[in-house]
Amino acid sequence: MKTYLIAVAAFACLVGALPAQAASTAELTVGGLITPMACTPVLSGGGLIDFGKISRKDLNQTTGTRLPLKSLTLTVSCNAPGRYTLRMADNRDGTAHVNSEIYYGLGLDIAGNKIGVYSVKFDPKQTVVDDLPVVYGTESTTGGVAWRPANLNPIDIGSRSLLGFTDVAGSTSGPSAIQNLSSTLTLETVINAKQNLDLSVDTPMDGSATLEVVYL
């Protein structure tokens, strides 16, 4: 080890004696890991939530109008146990009238106004993972560098956070290896205040999002 350090020091002195030259090349490194693990997420009812027709007279004039809660079931089946998380991307990005990663947009009205928002909540108490007796939810807002202590509190899935499950209460190590998961999701929807919308014609709510399995 001492010989190596001396050689480096001598080389550094030699380089310092030469005229400085600009580098004419740059190196690109591409990495990754191809895994045999594969998980398939499936939402009940094809992932469709339909509120039917809503009269504009039933909407609040100056505040948002909360619609009845809706629920659907998510199942995730993997070919082997593995560590993964969930996140959701808004396919109507930029149409939510509330600026938060847990709120997803419902599209625009005829005048380009933002119709409303919805959120999707996971409840560990309504989640079944393999044969575990209890499941705890955990979340990372740092891309998996740090994790919130696992607990039984409901979690709204975000577009920039990672959501996972573990069998260890209070764990900050992230999700456990999971093969089969089933969870009842709760969807909360709020329509923008009527004064902010142009409802002179039929206005379809056009929410769309993609649920993604992120392998760790």
Distance CA(184)–CA(44), nearest Å, equals 10
**50 contact partners, CB below 8 Å, separation of at least 6:** none
**90 contact partners, CB below 8 Å, separation of at least 6:** 96, 104, 105, 159, 208, 209
pTM: 0.83
The answer, yes or no, to whether residue 14 has pLDDT greater than 50, is no
What are phi and psi for residue 15, nearest 5 degrees? -60, -40
Give the tens place of pLDDT for each residue, 167-197. 999 999 999 999 999 999 999 999 999 999 9
CA distances from 126 to 41, 50, 133, 165 (A): 17, 22, 12, 12
Residue at 132: amino acid letter? L
Q: What domains appear along the chain, each with residue ranges and CATH number?
A: 61-197+206-216 (2.60.40)
**2 contact partners, CB below 8 Å, separation of at least 6:** none
The answer, yes or no, to whether residue 132 has pLDDT greater than 80, is yes
CA distances from 106 to 3, 44, 125 (A): 67, 20, 28
Q: Which residue has the tokens 């027709």?
A: 53
Query: Residue 28 — pLDDT band, cuts 50, 70, 90?
Result: confident
Give the tens place of pLDDT for each residue, 68-124. 999 999 999 999 999 999 999 999 999 999 999 999 999 999 999 999 999 999 999
